């Protein structure tokens, strides 16, 4: 069953570090393995994983690799050893944990990676996902970007200009530019709820209330860039999805479509 439940010399160095990884699509490979806890003979938790690893020795690759290495270290050095040695977390004694990932966008501006997780404990299987989008060549190279930042880049804004972009230069996305990730997320939530209600993969699924949906889903968190270079994918909450569709149930929106939703949200607020 599925249980409901991311000085001049210094300046020159910084410029060099950014330039080293700019304008190049990153190469992503799989760091795969399995581990048993507390040990292979008497295991209580079996962990199979595939984590992304960026090939290269530049600053951007190092930052992204650190993000995932720290997450893997937390699982193998803290979380699973603790679970395996906690009686209440042993369940039937044969618990399977799997972490995998998919690259949804990789170009000279953005790298989006969605990590898919499943954990079978006794009779229950818990699903979750974590999408992260990294700046590849801009002012935040190697760091994760906010929803607003990703929308702007997908709309054609130079990654180096995210902090200085002006609404008058991009009138088609002026509300996005003037907004924040939180305000954009708040406006998108009811619209995405309605879109997911009509999603072909969810037509037979039990429909959650807007309140339950809001508990499990946040547009500011559950998004990734699309390979078309202009769209953003929003992922349906795994806790609410049926087992067969939890990994790939998405709604795709372009920046202009998001701008239109923001405009409609403002109009509705003014009318109330």
Tokens 């939890």 correspond to 246
pLDDT value of position 93: 84
Token pair recorded at residue 115: 């990590």
pLDDT value of position 37: 96
Q: Please state at what angle helix 181-197 crosses helix 255-271, rounded to 10 degrees.
A: 90
Q: Is 14 exposed, middle or buried (0-12, 13-18, 19+ CB in 10 A)?
A: exposed
90 — pLDDT class (breaks 50, 70, 90): confident
Tell whether the model's pLDDT for residue 6 goes beyond 60. no
pLDDT value of position 247: 62
> For 225-251, what is the mean pLDDT?
82
* Average pLDDT of the chain, as a whole number: 87
pLDDT value of position 203: 72
- What pTM, to 2 d.p., does this model score? 0.86
Q: Which residue has the higher pLDDT, 205 or 49?
A: 49
Tell whether the model's pLDDT for residue 225 goes beyond 70. yes
pLDDT value of position 258: 98
> For 132-153, what is the mean pLDDT?
96
CA max distance for the chain: 66
- The mean-pLDDT minimum among 22-31, 37-46, 150-159, 255-264 falls in 22-31
pLDDT value of position 243: 59
Annotation: CATH topology of 1-145? Heat Shock Protein 90 (3.30.565)
pLDDT value of position 189: 97
Tell whether the model's pLDDT for residue 246 goes beyond 80. no
Q: Please state at what angle helix 181-197 crosses helix 147-154, rounded to 10 degrees.
A: 80
- Rounded distance, CA 14 to CA 23, Å? 16
Tell whether the model's pLDDT for residue 9 goes beyond 60. no
**Complete edge-to-edge strand list for the sheet that includes strand 27-37:** 27-37, 45-55, 95-106, 110-121, 124-135
Closest of 120, 115, 146, 122 to residue 47, by C-alpha: 120
For the chain, domain boundaries: 1-145, 146-272
């Amino acid at each position: 069953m599925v249980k409901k439940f991311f000085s001049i010399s210094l300046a020159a160095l910084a410029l060099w570090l950014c330039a080293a990884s700019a304008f190049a699509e990153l190469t992503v490979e799989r760091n795969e393995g399995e581990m048993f806890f507390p040990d292979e003979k008497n295991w209580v938790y079996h962990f199979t994983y595939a984590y992304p690893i960026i090939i290269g020795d530049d600053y951007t690759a190092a930052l992204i690799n650190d993000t995932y290495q720290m997450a893997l270290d937390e699982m193998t050095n803290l979380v699973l050893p603790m679970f395996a040695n906690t009686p209440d977390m042993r369940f039937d004694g044969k618990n399977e944990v799997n972490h995998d990932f998919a690259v949804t966008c990789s170009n000279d501006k953005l790298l989006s990676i969605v990590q898919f997780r499943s954990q079978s404990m006794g009779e229950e299987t818990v699903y979750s996902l974590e999408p992260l989008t990294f700046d590849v060549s801009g002012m935040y190279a190697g760091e994760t970007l906010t929803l607003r930042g990703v929308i702007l880049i997908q709309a054609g804004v130079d990654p180096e200009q995210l902090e200085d972009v002006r609404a008058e230069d991009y009138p088609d996305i002026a509300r996005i530019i003037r907004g924040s990730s939180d305000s954009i997320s708040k406006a998108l939530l009811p619209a995405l709820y309605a879109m997911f209600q009509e999603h072909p993969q969810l037509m037979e699924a039990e429909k959650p209330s807007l309140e339950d949906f809001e508990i499990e889903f946040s547009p500011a968190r559950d998004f990734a860039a699309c390979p078309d270079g202009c769209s953003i994918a929003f992922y349906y909450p795994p806790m609410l999805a049926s087992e067969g569709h939890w990994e790939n149930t998405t709604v795709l929106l372009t920046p202009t479509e998001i701008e239109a939703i923001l405009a409609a949200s403002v109009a509705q607020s003014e009318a109330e």
